Amino acid sequence: MTKLKMNVPLVEMDGDEMTRIIWKWIKELLIEPYVDLKTEYYDLGLQKRDESNDQITIDSALATIKYGVAVKCATITPNAQRITEYNLKEMWKSPNGTIRSILDGTVFRAPIIVDSVKPFIRTWKKPITIARHAYGDIYKDVEYRVEGPGKAELVFTGENGEIRQTIFDFKGKGVLLGMHNIDKSIASFARTCFNYALDVKQDLWFSSKDTISKKYDHTFKELFQDIYDQEYKLKFEEAKIEYLYTLIDDAVARVIRSDGGFIWACKNYDGDVMSDMVATAFGSLAMMTSVLVSPDGYYEFEAAHGTVTRHYYKHLQGEETSTNSMATIFAWTGALRKRGELDGIDDLIVFADKLEAASIKTIEEGVMTKDLAVLSELSDKKIVNTRNFLVEIKLRLDEMLS
Ligand code: NAP
Ligand code: MG
């Protein structure tokens, strides 16, 4: 078989621990035999980040702006213990945070669905994708512990003077909180969500609590609606998909009753909470994909889970591991498919589809890692180790390609 050709490289961001091992094996077994893989390689492993004073993380994000598509392995976000373990110069920031702030993106998280692992919600048949706004709200708030009686006011000092509003007349102890958002960030969140919905041809829901928060949440609702009416209504009609705004409590009720297959855009805190709820209800963190989409159309694909440290330490001891590589494989297929779409290489899209199908088929035929075996409803299950799971996928991929 001749290998598939690529024109433009993928930005490859390597990572740490167990996922770094899986990364190498995925390339060796499932990609390089079939694709003449072109990547611009950035080693975001903790050691290389330390050596470069984290410049390599910044360089990898800038390369994503240059080429448009990146695929990222999970990386360690250092804490005090890692400083000793890796003898670090500094407690470097989270690479994901650094990359996100350079690309200014929205994070979309979607589960990989297999028939034999049933979601805890019986009606869910198709994936539910959570799009989380990643700016402002309580994550950038100012808080105050009120120790005794006094008047709390909201004061804004603008070019034309001061606006003052009483928040509360405290008679005793209490708490206060101030938070903000900016139109520019809300609008780019909205556009990214509308573009993503068109991209995957799924309905978009957006929810907030505008009946109670008549300025704050109402501004989100209004900006989404204006942008939709002016820029996306016709495109949505052509694509036969819908935009729905509803109150967050109504959205929660609808989500539970639904059969899935839509994108749920959430404000920062709602998205933080709801993405963990949805991920757990679908079964396993190891089956959750994540893609950062910037308003300028750059994409960074990754698994939602971390570096699976406990398994890595076992691996270092020479013990057998059974780590699930599905989300990391789907990060690669997501990136290859996007490259295919952007560069007009249909064969690359077909290959990505087949690799995903072969991976799902493997689990459907009862061959899986330990984490899924406890969730799967199949009676005949074969638990395999980390590498053999990839070997089993390769067998099925070869069948599909021949
Ligand atoms: P984690 O790596 O996601 O692992 C937590 C636990 O979830 C594992 O111990 C394992 O459970 C299970 N698990 C996760 N992924 C799995 C997989 N693919 N296959 C099988 N089981 C899986 O989270 P963590 O232990 O909190 O963090 C470890 C490191 O990852 C930290 O240094 C953190 O900074 C980093 N991290 C990176 C990212 C990222 O780069 N996007 C995200 C999160 C965390 P059992 O041990 O019970 O088998
Ligand atoms: Mg959370």
pLDDT at 138 over 90: no
pLDDT at 251 over 90: yes
Residue scoring higher pLDDT (285 or 148): 148
Confidence of residue 284 (pLDDT cuts 50, 70, 90): confident
Cβ of residue 16 lying under 6 Å from some atom of ligand 1? no
Report the mean per-residue pLDDT for the chain. Answer: 95
Phi then psi for residue 366, to 5 deg, are 95, 0
Q: Which of 237, 261, 282 is the last residue of a domain?
A: 282
Are 72 and 83 part of one and the same domain?
yes
Q: Which protein residue's CA is at the shortest distance from atom 22 of ligand 1?
A: 286
CA of 289 to the centre of ligand 2 (A): 15
Task: Tell me the average pLDDT across 107-114.
Answer: 92
Range of the domain at 42: 1-113+286-402
Percent of the chain with pLDDT over 90: 86
Model pLDDT, residue 276: 83
Cβ of residue 310 lying under 6 Å from some atom of ligand 1? yes
Task: Tell me the average pLDDT across 126-155.
Answer: 93
Q: Which of 255, 282, 309 is the last residue of a domain?
A: 282
pLDDT at 249 over 80: yes
Q: What is the CATH number of the domain that holds 48?
A: 3.40.718.10
- What pairs with residue 108 in β-bridges? 131, 291
Task: Tell me the average pLDDT across 277-305.
Answer: 90
Are 149 and 185 part of one and the same domain?
no
Indicate which ligand has the atom closest to the C-alpha of 269: 2
CA of 367 to the centre of ligand 2 (A): 31
Indicate which ligand has the atom closest to the C-alpha of 272: 2
Are 130 and 150 part of one and the same domain?
no
Distance separating alpha carbons of residues 182 and 223, to the nearest angstrom: 11
Are 253 and 330 part of one and the same domain?
no
> Which ligand 1 atom sits closest to the C-alpha of 19?
18
CA of 272 to the centre of ligand 2 (A): 4
Contact 260, 220 (CB under 8 A): no
CA of 277 to the centre of ligand 2 (A): 9
Structural domains in the chain (count): 3
Are 209 and 264 part of one and the same domain?
yes
Q: What is the dihedral of CA 257, 262, 263, 267, to 10 degrees?
A: -20
Task: Tell me the average pLDDT across 161-190.
Answer: 96
- What pairs with residue 384 in β-bridges? none
pLDDT at 1 over 90: no
Half-sphere exposure of 362 (CA within 13 A, CB side): 28
Confidence of residue 142 (pLDDT cuts 50, 70, 90): very high
Cβ of residue 285 lying under 6 Å from some atom of ligand 1? yes
pLDDT at 135 over 90: no
Model pLDDT, residue 285: 83
- Sign, CA torsion 60/78/318/286: negative
Are 269 and 357 part of one and the same domain?
no
pLDDT at 105 over 80: no
Are 211 and 167 part of one and the same domain?
no
Cβ of residue 225 lying under 6 Å from some atom of ligand 1? no
pLDDT tens track for 28-50 = 999 999 999 999 999 999 999 99
Confidence of residue 84 (pLDDT cuts 50, 70, 90): very high
Are 2 and 70 part of one and the same domain?
yes
Distance separating alpha carbons of residues 183 and 181, to the nearest angstrom: 7
Are 36 and 61 part of one and the same domain?
yes
Indicate which ligand has the atom closest to the C-alpha of 91: 1
CA of 128 to the centre of ligand 2 (A): 17
CA of 310 to the centre of ligand 1 (A): 8
Indicate which ligand has the atom closest to the C-alpha of 100: 1
Q: Which protein residue's CA is at the shortest distance from atom 26 of ligand 1?
A: 306
Q: Which of 261, 282, 303 is the last residue of a domain?
A: 282
Confidence of residue 297 (pLDDT cuts 50, 70, 90): confident
Residue scoring higher pLDDT (221 or 285): 221
Confidence of residue 392 (pLDDT cuts 50, 70, 90): very high
Model pLDDT, residue 163: 96
Confidence of residue 140 (pLDDT cuts 50, 70, 90): confident
The model's pTM: 0.89
